[in-house]
Each structure stands twice: as C-alpha cells, then as structure tokens.
C-alpha cells in the first residue's frame, strides 16, 4: 500500500537527485577562458554582412584590417596589416604597403590581392554595412578599378570624392574592412554569392583566433590561429550564451565562467569592492537619447525641445538607475570619439523648463506618448523621464515595445517621443553627425533615412556643416567644425541626448588582460591571460 512514508521517501529521492549524480567540474579548463554573454543577436560572421555586436566582436579577433585605432594614443590610428600608407595631395588616392608576416588560418600569407578582393566583395555584395565603403563612391561597376592590388604587397584605393583622410581610415578600421582569404572564400562560393553563405558561419581571416564552432543561441568557440604570428594568452575562448545577468553572476561566482559581460548596475556594485574580481570598462560609442518627432505640432516648437532638455534629471538617472553602466553625455558624439565635448550643459531646472513651455504657448503642458525598448535599464529610465516631464506639465504615456517593434515604428516616423539607443557605425565623427544632423530631403523617397529624417528634423545649416566636415582635410579644423556643430545641435535639435553606454566585463582574479573596446569591432581577446 502507498503510505505517507513511501511517498515522502520517493519524493526525497527525486529531490536529492543532484547529490546522487556526479557534481559538475568546479572550474573552467586551464587553457581556455569561458565568457558568459548574451549572443543571440548574431546573424552572420561574414565581415561584409556582420553588423551586430557579438559577431562584430568575434570578427575583430579573427580578422585583421589595414589599420586600427591606436590603443595607446586616443584618436589616432596605427597600422595593422598595413606597415605604412600614403595619401595623395588631393586626398583621393590611398596607397597601403602591407607587412609580410601576416598569415591566414590556412597558413597562406596575406596578399594585396586578398585585401582588394575583400573590399571589392563588400561593395559587390552591398549588404547592410556595405554603405560604410560605398559612401566613398565605389559602385559595382567601378570598384575593380578603384580598389586594386599594385603588387603582392601594395594596395591602392581611389575614392570618388574628397573625404577627410581620417574619415576614410576609420571606415577601413571598421569590421567591414576585415581582410578575408580570397582563395578559401571563393572555393566555397555558390551561385555567385562570393562565399557569403559559407562565411556566415565560418571565418577565413588572419586574426589571432579562428572561429571553431558556433551554435546559434548557445555558444561560439574560437581557437588560436597558429599561423597568425600573434601571441595569445589562452588557446581557446568559449563564449556561452547566458541571457540572464543573474545566471551570469552565479556562474562567475562558482567558477564556471571566467568573464561575465552583461551584469547589471546593482550586480556590479556588489562586486566592486570584492578582490576576487576585477572590472574592466570602456565608454562605448553608443548613446541613449529622446527623439521628438517634428510632425507633432507641440514638439515642433524649439522652446519645447529646450524645456524637455531642462526638465530631465540626468544626474539622478545615471546615479540611481545606471551607475557604472551608462553615464551622462549630452552631445551626439560620445566621449572618446574624435571631436567629442565633455561638458554637461543641461541639468534639471523645473522653473526654467516651465518658463520655456510658457514661452512656447503651452503653460499648462500637453499630453504625449513615448515609445521605448522594454528592456533594462530603459524601463526605469523611461519612468524617471515620465516623472521629470510630469513636473513641468507634460503628461507622458509610456509605450514599451520590443526592440525591433520600436525601431519599425520610428523608421516609419509614427512615434511622438521615442527613447532610443544609437551606436556609431564606425569611429569617425561623421557617423553620428550624419545620423543626427543631415536630412537634405524629408520626403518618403529620401535616400538618407537616418535619425534626423526619422523625426522630420530638417536644419539646412546643420546638414551643410556635417557635409562640409566630412570633406575637410585639415584634421584640426575638422574637429573644430564638429565641436561647433554639436553646440548648435544642442540648442536647436529636437533630440535630448541623455547617456553614454559604458561596457563592462567582470573577470575572476586569475583572468587578466581583457580589453573592452569603444566599439565591438575593437574588443580584443589576445591579451587575456589565465592563472
């Protein structure tokens, strides 16, 4: 007969199963580093197509580019595959001399033909990041002539119109400038796809690591590339997809992970004084801002832009909601990018904000909706903004949504207020200046539908200033132009710039050397050591 004793014994038996089974290994393997991170954003590892954070980061470690931002000199570039380079006096022709000790995963040397092929391929495929190169005048018809190998070690790139030298070089330092091995890629080409189908899930680069395996929404493994000639601290990097920050923290504490990448502000706070962990962080070229759609009559008034900017308590948001993860930044160029301004012009001033609203003819405020992406910490920030704006009479109805839902809505220009995040495409100030300032054609058939267009923001002066700065060959003058542009933007644009992202990585004490880059393209694994 089934008695209570039998039941209890049975239940206890099942519940104690973990103890009966052998416990898992307590630590990660010695020659490998296990990193826990959210990596379900990956679509493709092909540098001509990759445009998400996690795949760009892996590519940065599996591919080399002609140039890279100098890790020791902020705002400067240094050679990677390029030993040296020259630029013609008219600023149109770039000639790169390649180093001769770089080798692909297959052991074959990197040649100028590989470099030219890689860039031509980006233009011919014209996937999402393709515009980073095509904006210099390359087309499917001319790219073979404009980008070519002069000999085994010399590549020449001719651009279609004058562009600032640093602008061109920074674009070549982006992931889209990664050099792939032509022979390997073309051996996997099918139906004229230039190997795109194969490179989506493989690598063919000359970086310190090569992609060994990728299981979508599970893990990616990179092993040292023995032919690269680059020193690596650990032979294998395992990046495990762990969506929950709380789980990431547990794994780190138990030694099942060596590095955790997505811990929340509260979790970071709890580890800051703990000597068993070290925290690496870097300001990202990623901004959080509020866009005000100019198609909404109330939001079209300049005084309302200013009122909203003066109503928000930026410091309180950064201090209470996002300590360590997002910091106050009120310009469209995040700190670290060339030309970035560091002052904080706006602070919460309710009286001033109310006065501005009254000047706009809206002394009693108005009602408005605000779309935002319903993920931490945006939900808390949106509520804080809602409370701040309520204090001056603007009644905000919050409209949370999934990331792609909110993006779809704002791209269709159907939002009123929208709290969004924007990451620079490349490290040159033109990326954000163009996005926030340029809108030469506000019609639905415009060829440039970035942030200014999406909020119907048209400012002829800012558009002209941005276009002029992109062409300026004098570096100092160019930086001054961006500074002036940002001050004008601050006063006139319907964008309240709120915060700059700060990427963090928490390592166990025996793991050192992990460098978080300002862009995922610049995050490197080769200096990581263990033990």
Partner 1 sequence: MTASRVRQTLASVASVPLTLFGLILVTFLIGRAMPIDPVIAIAGDHAPPDVIARVRTELGLDKPLPVQFAIYMGQLLHGNLGNSVMTSHPVTEDIARFFPATLELATVAIIIAILIGVPLGVVAAWRQGSRFDHVVRVVSLAGQSVPVFVLGLVCLLVFYAKLGIAPGTGQIDVAYEGMVPPITGMLVLDAALEGDWDSFWNAGSHLVLPSLVLAYFSMAYITRMTRAFMIESLAGEYIVTARAKGLSATRILWRHAFGNIAVRLVTVLALAYAGLLEGAVITETVFSWPGIGLYLTGSLLNADMNAVLGATLVIGLVYLVLNLLADLAYRLLDPRVR
Q: Which of residues 252 and 299 has its CB atom nearest to partner 1 in the complex? A: 252
Question: CA 192 → CA 46, 147, 197, 491, distances in Å?
Answer: 15, 20, 10, 50
- Quote the least distance from Cβ 151 to partner 1, whole Å: 34
Give the separation between CA 327 and CA 53, rounded to whole angstroms. 20
- Quote the least distance from Cβ 269 to partner 1, whole Å: 18
Question: CA 64 → CA 5, 114, 200, 522, 528, distances in Å?
Answer: 67, 12, 17, 11, 18
Question: CA 97 → CA 70, 72, 116, 145, distances in Å?
Answer: 18, 22, 12, 18
Residue 418, SS3 per DSSP: strand
Question: CA 211 → CA 100, 102, 335, distances in Å?
Answer: 23, 18, 32
CB contact at 8 A, 62 and 211: yes
Q: Which of residues 269 and 411 has its CB atom nearest to partner 1 in the complex? A: 411
- Quote the least distance from Cβ 379 to partner 1, whole Å: 16
- Quote the least distance from Cβ 483 to partner 1, whole Å: 25
β-strand partners of 394: 366
Quote the radius of gyration of the chain (alpha carbons, Å): 25
Q: Which of residues 190 and 475 has its CB atom nearest to partner 1 in the complex? A: 190
- Quote the least distance from Cβ 110 to partner 1, whole Å: 26
Q: Which of residues 40 and 461 has its CB atom nearest to partner 1 in the complex? A: 40
Q: Which residues contact 477 (CB under 8 A, 6 or more apart)?
A: none
Give the separation between CA 324 and CA 327, rounded to whole angstroms. 7
Residue 216, SS3 per DSSP: coil
48: which 2 tokens? 């001509």
CB contact at 8 A, 62 and 46: no
Q: Which of residues 154 and 458 has its CB atom nearest to partner 1 in the complex? A: 458
Q: Which of residues 25 and 351 has its CB atom nearest to partner 1 in the complex? A: 25
- Quote the least distance from Cβ 1 to partner 1, whole Å: 5
- Quote the least distance from Cβ 11 to partner 1, whole Å: 6
Q: Which of residues 2 and 460 has its CB atom nearest to partner 1 in the complex? A: 2
322: which 2 tokens? 């996002």
Give the separation between CA 109 and CA 67, rounded to whole angstroms. 18
- Quote the least distance from Cβ 403 to partner 1, whole Å: 7
Q: Which of residues 42 and 304 has its CB atom nearest to partner 1 in the complex? A: 42
Respond yes or no on whether the N-terminal peptide bond of residue 372 is cis (omega within 30° of 0): no
Q: Which of residues 313 and 371 has its CB atom nearest to partner 1 in the complex? A: 371
- Quote the least distance from Cβ 501 to partner 1, whole Å: 15
């Amino acid at each position: 007969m089934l008695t209570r004793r039998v039941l209890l014994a049975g239940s206890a038996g099942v519940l104690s199963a973990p103890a009966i089974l052998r416990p898992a290994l307590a630590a990660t393997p010695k020659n490998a580093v296990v990193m826990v991170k959210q990596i379900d954003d990956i679509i493709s590892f092909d540098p001509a197509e990759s445009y998400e954070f996690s795949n760009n980061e892996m590519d940065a470690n599996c591919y080399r580019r002609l140039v890279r931002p100098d890790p020791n000199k902020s705002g400067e570039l240094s050679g990677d595959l390029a030993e040296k380079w020259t630029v013609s006096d008219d600023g149109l022709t770039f000639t790169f001399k390649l180093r001769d000790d770089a080798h692909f995963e297959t052991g074959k040397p990197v040649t100028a033909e590989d470099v030219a092929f890689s860039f031509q391929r980006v233009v011919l495929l014209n996937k999402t990041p393709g515009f980073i190169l095509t904006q210099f005048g390359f087309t499917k018809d001319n790219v073979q002539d404009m980008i070519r190998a002069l000999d085994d070690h010399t590549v020449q790139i001719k651009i279609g119109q004058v562009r600032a030298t640093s602008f061109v070089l920074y674009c070549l330092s982006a992931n889209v400038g990664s050099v792939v091995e032509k022979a390997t890629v073309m051996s996997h080409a099918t139906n004229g796809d230039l190997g795109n189908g194969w490179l989506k899930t493989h690598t063919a680069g000359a970086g310190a690591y090569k992609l060994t395996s990728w299981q979508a929404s599970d893990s990616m493994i990179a092993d040292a590339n023995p032919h690269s000639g680059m020193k690596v601290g650990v032979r294998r990097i395992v990046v495990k997809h762990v969506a929950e920050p709380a789980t990431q923290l547990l794994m780190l504490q138990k030694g099942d992970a060596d590095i955790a990448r997505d811990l929340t502000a509260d979790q970071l706070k709890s580890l800051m004084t703990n000597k068993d962990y070290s925290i690496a962080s870097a300001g990202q070229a990623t901004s959080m801002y509020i866009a005000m759609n100019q198609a909404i009559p109330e939001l079209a008034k300049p005084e309302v832009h200013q009122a909203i900017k003066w109503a928000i308590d930026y410091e309180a948001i950064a201090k209470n909601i996002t300590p360590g993860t997002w910091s106050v930044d009120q310009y469209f160029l995040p700190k670290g990018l060339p030309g970035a301004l560091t002052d904080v012009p706006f602070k919460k001033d309710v009286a001033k904000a109310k006065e501005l609203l009254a000047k706009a003819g809206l002394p009693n405020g108005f009602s408005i909706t605000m779309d935002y992406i319903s993920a931490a910490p945006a939900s808390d920030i949106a509520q804080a903004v809602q409370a701040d704006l309520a204090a001056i009479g603007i009644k905000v109805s919050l409209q949370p949504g999934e990331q792609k839902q909110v993006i779809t809505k704002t791209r269709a220009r159907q939002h009123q207020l929208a709290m969004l995040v924007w990451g620079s495409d490349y490290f040159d100030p033109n990326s954000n200046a163009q996005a926030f300032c340029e809108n030469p054609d506000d019609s639905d058939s415009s060829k440039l539908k970035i942030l200014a267009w999406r909020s119907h923001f048209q400012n002829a002066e800012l558009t002209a200033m941005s276009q002029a700065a992109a062409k300026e060959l004098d570096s100092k003058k160019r930086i001054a132009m961006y500074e002036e542009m940002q001050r004008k933007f601050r006063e006139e644009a319907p964008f309240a710039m709120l915060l700059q992202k700060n990427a963090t990585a928490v390592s166990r004490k025996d793991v050192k050397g992990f460098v978080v880059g300002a862009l995922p393209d610049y995050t490197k694994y080769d200096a990581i050591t263990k033990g």
